[in-house]
Amino acid sequence: MPSPSPSTENGRTVAAMYEAFGRGDVPFVLEQIAPEVEWIESDAQRLPARGTSRTPQEVLQNVFMQVPAHFERFELRPELWIEAGDDVVVTGRVVARTNSGRDLDAPYAHVFSFRDGKVVRNDNFHDTALWLEALD
C-alpha cells in the first residue's frame, strides 16, 4: 500500500514524527510533543507501554524506551489518515519481532490532538490480544 499523503500542517507533523521514529530520531518526535500532554496507552497490565504519560520525558520512559526493551524490530506502517481541525487520526499496522523471536502484525489507531503546533494528546488503540500473544 502506498504511503499516505497528509494534507494539513498537523498531518505533516504527524508524518514527520512517524518518519523520525522509524529512523530512530526520538529527540525530533519528543520536540513535537507539548510540555503538558496526555499520551494514553492501553491499561492492559501485561503490555510494556500502558497508562497515561503527562510529559515528553514520561512518553520517552514509559513508551519509547519500552520498544528496544521488548522488540528487536519495530515498524509502524500508516495506512489511513483522517485530518480534521486540530485532530489527526492514523490507522495502520505495527509489524515487529519481539526480543524472544515472536512476530507481531497488528492493527493500530492513533488519535493525535494539536494545540499551537504541538501534540497535546495522543490516544493509542491496539489489538491487545495480538500484542499479548506476541509478548507472552
Average pLDDT of 20-42?
96
Question: Does residue 79 form part of some domain?
Answer: yes
What is the phi/psi pair of residue 56, to 5°? -55, -35
Of residues 66, 65, 88, 85, the one with CA closest to residue 17: 88
Q: Is the pLDDT of residue 47 over 60?
A: yes
Distant-in-sequence, close-in-space partners of 76: CB < 8 Å, separation ≥ 6: 18, 21, 22, 92, 93, 94, 108
Question: Does residue 130 form part of some domain?
Answer: yes
The confidence band for 4, taking pLDDT boundaries of 50, 70 and 90, is: low
The confidence band for 1, taking pLDDT boundaries of 50, 70 and 90, is: very low
Number of domains in the chain: 1
pLDDT of residue 44: 85
The confidence band for 60, taking pLDDT boundaries of 50, 70 and 90, is: very high
Question: Does residue 115 form part of some domain?
Answer: yes
Average pLDDT of 73-83?
94
Question: Does residue 4 form part of some domain?
Answer: no
Question: Does residue 52 form part of some domain?
Answer: yes
The domain of 67 spans 9-135
pLDDT (tens digit per residue) in 88-131? 999 999 999 999 999 999 999 999 999 999 999 999 999 999 99
- Give the mean pLDDT of the chain: 93
Question: Does residue 41 form part of some domain?
Answer: yes
Percent of the chain residues topping a pLDDT of 70:
97
> From CA 53, how far away is CA 63, in angstroms rounded?
8
Identify the three-state secondary structure at position 87.
strand
Question: Does residue 71 form part of some domain?
Answer: yes
Question: Does residue 59 form part of some domain?
Answer: yes
| CATH number of the CATH domain containing 63 | 3.10.450.50
Average pLDDT of 38-54?
92
